[in-house]
Amino acid sequence: MFKPAHVNHNVIDLKNSIAFYEEALGYKEQRRINGQGFTIVFLGIKGYEFELELTQIEGRTQAYDLGENEFHLALKAEDFASAYSKHKEMGVICYENEAMGIYFISDPDGYWIEII
Protein backbone atom coordinates (compact mmCIF):
# COMPACT_ATOMS: atom_id res chain seq x y z
CA MET A 1 0.00 0.00 0.00
CA PHE A 2 1.25 3.47 -0.87
CA LYS A 3 0.00 6.88 0.22
CA PRO A 4 0.95 10.27 -1.25
CA ALA A 5 3.91 12.00 0.40
CA HIS A 6 4.55 15.12 -1.68
CA VAL A 7 4.51 16.68 -5.12
CA ASN A 8 7.40 18.80 -6.44
CA HIS A 9 7.33 22.14 -8.23
CA ASN A 10 10.62 23.59 -9.47
CA VAL A 11 10.56 27.35 -8.93
CA ILE A 12 12.65 30.34 -10.00
CA ASP A 13 12.12 32.61 -6.95
CA LEU A 14 11.75 30.51 -3.80
CA LYS A 15 10.88 33.43 -1.51
CA ASN A 16 8.14 34.63 -3.87
CA SER A 17 6.73 31.11 -4.26
CA ILE A 18 6.64 30.48 -0.51
CA ALA A 19 4.81 33.80 -0.01
CA PHE A 20 2.27 32.83 -2.68
CA TYR A 21 1.50 29.42 -1.16
CA GLU A 22 1.25 30.92 2.32
CA GLU A 23 -1.18 33.64 1.23
CA ALA A 24 -3.21 31.74 -1.35
CA LEU A 25 -3.47 28.34 0.38
CA GLY A 26 -2.31 28.72 3.98
CA TYR A 27 0.68 26.39 3.49
CA LYS A 28 3.59 26.89 5.89
CA GLU A 29 7.22 25.86 5.65
CA GLN A 30 7.71 22.50 7.38
CA ARG A 31 11.37 21.88 6.67
CA ARG A 32 14.21 22.90 4.38
CA ILE A 33 17.17 21.20 2.72
CA ASN A 34 20.08 23.39 1.61
CA GLY A 35 22.13 21.32 -0.79
CA GLN A 36 25.03 22.07 -3.07
CA GLY A 37 23.46 24.14 -5.86
CA PHE A 38 19.84 23.75 -4.76
CA THR A 39 17.35 24.48 -1.98
CA ILE A 40 14.28 22.38 -1.26
CA VAL A 41 11.46 23.65 0.94
CA PHE A 42 8.57 21.45 2.03
CA LEU A 43 5.29 23.26 2.64
CA GLY A 44 2.27 21.79 4.33
CA ILE A 45 -0.67 22.21 6.64
CA LYS A 46 -0.47 21.10 10.26
CA GLY A 47 -2.20 17.77 10.76
CA TYR A 48 -1.80 16.58 7.16
CA GLU A 49 1.04 14.35 5.97
CA PHE A 50 0.98 15.45 2.31
CA GLU A 51 3.44 18.22 1.45
CA LEU A 52 4.31 20.48 -1.46
CA GLU A 53 8.02 20.41 -2.28
CA LEU A 54 9.44 23.57 -3.83
CA THR A 55 12.88 23.20 -5.41
CA GLN A 56 15.03 26.14 -6.45
CA ILE A 57 18.12 25.39 -8.54
CA GLU A 58 20.88 27.93 -7.91
CA GLY A 59 21.44 30.24 -10.87
CA ARG A 60 18.31 29.15 -12.77
CA THR A 61 16.61 32.18 -14.32
CA GLN A 62 14.76 30.66 -17.28
CA ALA A 63 11.12 29.66 -16.72
CA TYR A 64 10.37 25.94 -16.69
CA ASP A 65 8.47 24.41 -19.61
CA LEU A 66 5.15 23.37 -18.08
CA GLY A 67 3.70 21.95 -21.28
CA GLU A 68 0.00 22.66 -21.54
CA ASN A 69 -0.64 22.57 -17.77
CA GLU A 70 -2.53 19.30 -18.05
CA PHE A 71 -0.80 18.02 -14.91
CA HIS A 72 -1.79 19.88 -11.77
CA LEU A 73 -2.25 19.76 -8.03
CA ALA A 74 -5.90 19.56 -6.90
CA LEU A 75 -6.99 20.80 -3.47
CA LYS A 76 -10.35 20.62 -1.71
CA ALA A 77 -11.39 23.90 -0.10
CA GLU A 78 -13.20 23.72 3.24
CA ASP A 79 -15.04 26.93 2.29
CA PHE A 80 -15.18 27.12 -1.50
CA ALA A 81 -16.90 30.54 -1.65
CA SER A 82 -14.35 32.19 0.67
CA ALA A 83 -11.44 30.59 -1.19
CA TYR A 84 -12.85 31.79 -4.51
CA SER A 85 -13.26 35.34 -3.18
CA LYS A 86 -9.69 35.41 -1.83
CA HIS A 87 -8.20 34.08 -5.07
CA LYS A 88 -10.30 36.48 -7.17
CA GLU A 89 -9.04 39.37 -5.02
CA MET A 90 -5.44 38.13 -5.43
CA GLY A 91 -5.93 37.98 -9.21
CA VAL A 92 -4.59 34.42 -9.45
CA ILE A 93 -7.59 32.63 -10.99
CA CYS A 94 -6.55 31.49 -14.46
CA TYR A 95 -9.44 29.21 -15.45
CA GLU A 96 -12.98 28.58 -14.21
CA ASN A 97 -15.44 25.78 -14.95
CA GLU A 98 -18.68 26.79 -13.25
CA ALA A 99 -20.54 23.74 -14.60
CA MET A 100 -18.11 21.44 -12.75
CA GLY A 101 -17.86 23.71 -9.69
CA ILE A 102 -14.09 24.11 -9.95
CA TYR A 103 -11.51 26.75 -10.79
CA PHE A 104 -7.75 26.90 -11.18
CA ILE A 105 -5.21 29.32 -9.77
CA SER A 106 -1.72 29.86 -11.16
CA ASP A 107 1.37 30.23 -8.97
CA PRO A 108 4.27 32.61 -9.75
CA ASP A 109 5.94 29.97 -11.95
CA GLY A 110 2.78 29.14 -13.90
CA TYR A 111 1.83 25.90 -12.14
CA TRP A 112 -1.93 25.38 -12.08
CA ILE A 113 -3.70 24.37 -8.85
CA GLU A 114 -7.26 23.10 -9.10
CA ILE A 115 -9.60 24.21 -6.34
CA ILE A 116 -12.51 21.86 -5.66
Could you report the per-residue pLDDT of 14-24, keeping only the tens digit for each? 999 999 999 99
Residue 75 CA to residue 95 CA, distance in Å, equals 15
Taking residue 25's Cβ as centre, other Cβ atoms within 10 Å add up to 21
Q: Mean pLDDT of all residues in the chain?
A: 94
82 phi, psi to nearest 5 deg: -65, -40
Q: How confident is the model at residue 1 (pLDDT cuts 50, 70, 90)?
A: confident
E strands, the chain, in order: 6-11, 28-35, 38-44, 51-57, 73-75, 93-97, 102-106, 112-115
60 has pLDDT over 80: yes
Q: Percent of the chain at pLDDT above 90?
A: 90
Q: How far is CA 6 from the centre of its chain?
A: 11
Average pLDDT score over residue span 48-63: 95
Q: Which CATH number describes the domain made up of 6-58+72-115? A: 3.10.180.10
| pLDDT at res. 84 | 97
Average pLDDT score over residue span 62-66: 91
Domain boundaries, the chain: 6-58+72-115
β-sheet bridge partners, residue 111: none
Q: Are 57 and 14 in contact (CB under 8 A)?
A: no
Q: Are 103 and 115 in contact (CB under 8 A)?
A: yes
Q: Percent of the chain at pLDDT above 70?
A: 99
How confident is the model over 83-95, as pLDDT tens digits?
Answer: 999 999 999 999 9
